[in-house]
Amino acid sequence: MSAVHDRVIAALEGREPDRVPTMDLVSEYGAVYEILGKKHMPMAWLFENPYTSRAIGRFSPLLNRLRVMENEVERFTYDRTAASVKLGSDAAWVIYAPMWRLRGAKEADDYIGRRWDLVPDGHGNLSTPMYGGGLIASPADWDAWDKRDLLRLPERANRFMKRLERDFGGDLFIFTAVGSGIFENTWQPLGFERFAVAARREKDFVRRLIRFYTDLCCVFIEAVADAGIPGYCYGDDMSYRSGPMFSPRMFEELFGESLRRVTETAHTQGMKIIIHSCGNTYKLLDWFADCGFDGVHPLEPTAGMELAEVKEMVGGRMALVGNIDVSHVLVDGSREEVRESVRQAIHDAGAGGGYILAPNHSHGTVSVERLRWMMEAAHAYGRYPLTV
């Protein structure tokens, strides 16, 4: 086992490693290729130029048959992982989601049944697509939905992750995820209002969806575990900035059994598993721990999440991951602001182990220079025994 694996596993098990581990979420074209020092073809102009965008719209069915979007996602995911190694991260959240189908130059849909808006990042690149609504309105729509590509995805993930682990696993603890989590996969194809009504009035239909995506998530975990990937980051946003989207009781009623199956599957395969859930998750933290997660991310500071309070609540049951602000500190903060943010995070959450320092998210305006400052500060302040 490599030093970075020892470091990350110690933190996930609530032990003190040699220093606080670092994790990144670099997932934007501009940042990845700046880190790698490589030029790449900016793709956004193809989708914005009136001539090429018309061609994309006309030939979208052919591009989809050739799996152009899926292949580009894999190519970028490989480079994105290489960037994490070059940045000096101990761990990285590497999302694997080659599941896009073009609906023209402005929109795409995916294997799950969601529509997405294709968004330029302002620097010539395509940014992370924005959710634009669901494509499934009824049980009949779900029954008719073509699931063949979705069901082939575990095998494809296994092949790709074997390559990723072979090339980078000795230098990086890879947390992967195949797409998003069970809650998002259940509500987003319907739209939230439709899902909220169905959760009360059409429970049999909703439970069918939940069972399907629970089974699929467990197969995804087994597929990447077979490839040698050591960690799974189960991403499922369940909260607004003001608090959970549903009551903790209703989350437990609908998804408790599923999340316990997911964590049990990961642990049976010898993997560590953390949960990523944006927003203010104070009311869900104990539930996440009860479900068996080894850690929780992002503990979003702009949603009022304070590391010291989270450490007191669940620090003995789960590792804490994240909390470094991406609204200002890692976008346009001074070097001293970045260093102080890192120092404070380690002070609040690092005592006794159980903390992995990381940004709370990724987007196109996060500064690579500030990510490097974050890494430098982690090395300066994160050595055990801590003195911050």
Other C-beta atoms within 10 Å of 25: how many? 28
Domain enclosing residue 191, as ranges:
3-381
β partners of residue 131: 116
With a cut of 80, say whether residue 369 has pLDDT above it: yes
Question: Quick check: is 210 in a domain?
Answer: yes
Mean pLDDT, the chain, rounded, equals 95
What is the mean predicted confidence (pLDDT) over 172-188? Answer: 97
CATH number at residue 59: 3.20.20.210
Question: Quick check: is 387 in a domain?
Answer: no
What is the mean predicted confidence (pLDDT) over 103-107? Answer: 92
Contact call for residues 165 and 225 (beta carbons, < 8 A)? no
Question: Quick check: is 7 in a domain?
Answer: yes
With a cut of 90, say whether residue 370 has pLDDT above it: yes
Contact call for residues 342 and 381 (beta carbons, < 8 A)? yes
What is the mean predicted confidence (pLDDT) over 149-168? Answer: 97
Cα–Cα nearest to 65, from 105, 106, 102 = 102
Cα–Cα nearest to 298, from 388, 219, 236, 217 = 236
Angle between helices 148-168 and 203-226 (to 10 degrees): 30
264: left (phi over 0), alpha (psi -120 to 50) or beta: alpha
**Element of type H or E holding 94:** strand 91-96
Contact call for residues 28 and 127 (beta carbons, < 8 A)? yes
Cα–Cα nearest to 180, from 93, 252, 281 = 93
Calculate what percentage of the chain has a pLDDT beyond 90: 89
β partners of residue 5: none
Question: Quick check: is 152 in a domain?
Answer: yes
Q: How far is CA 197 from CA 209, 258, 335, in A?
A: 15, 21, 48
- 250-286 per-position pLDDT tens digit: 999 999 999 999 999 999 999 999 999 999 999 999 9
CA 385 to chain centre: 31
Asked if residue 298 has a cis previous peptide bond (ω within 30° of 0), the answer is yes
Helices (H), the chain: 3-12, 29-36, 44-48, 50-65, 68-87, 139-144, 148-168, 182-187, 192-201, 203-226, 248-268, 285-290, 307-314, 329-332, 335-349, 368-381
Query: Residue 299 carries which side chain, given as an amino acid letter?
Result: L
Rounded to 10 degrees, the C-alpha dihedral 167/169/175/179 comes to 20
Calculate what percentage of the chain has a pLDDT beyond 70: 99
Question: Quick check: is 386 in a domain?
Answer: no
Question: Quick check: is 235 in a domain?
Answer: yes
Question: What pLDDT score was predicted for residue 127?
Answer: 80
- 7-24 per-position pLDDT tens digit: 999 999 999 999 999 999
Other C-beta atoms within 10 Å of 34: how many? 16
Q: How far is CA 158 from CA 43, 82, 155, in A?
A: 28, 18, 5
Question: What pLDDT score was predicted for residue 45?
Answer: 81
What is the mean predicted confidence (pLDDT) over 206-225? Answer: 98
Query: Residue 173 carries which side chain, given as an amino acid letter?
Result: F
- 29-63 per-position pLDDT tens digit: 889 999 999 887 777 788 888 899 999 999 999 99
Question: Quick check: is 356 in a domain?
Answer: yes
What is the mean predicted confidence (pLDDT) over 193-211? Answer: 95
With a cut of 80, say whether residue 333 has pLDDT above it: yes
Sign of CA dihedral 114, 28, 224, 261: negative
With a cut of 90, say whether residue 341 has pLDDT above it: yes
Provide the number of structural domains found in the chain. Answer: 1
Angstrom distance (rounded) from CA 233 to CA 187: 20
- 119-132 per-position pLDDT tens digit: 887 777 778 889 99
pLDDT tier for residue 329 given thresholds of 50, 70 and 90: very high
Q: How far is CA 80 from CA 71, 73, 241, 323, 347, in A?
A: 14, 10, 29, 21, 30
Phi then psi for 49, rounded to 5 degrees?
A: -65, 130
Angstrom distance (rounded) from CA 128 to CA 325: 19
Contact call for residues 126 and 29 (beta carbons, < 8 A)? yes
Question: Quick check: is 8 in a domain?
Answer: yes
Phi then psi for 70, rounded to 5 degrees?
A: -65, -40
- 294-319 per-position pLDDT tens digit: 999 999 999 999 999 999 999 999 99
Cα–Cα nearest to 100, from 45, 51, 47 = 47
Which structure tokens are listed for 246?
């549903």
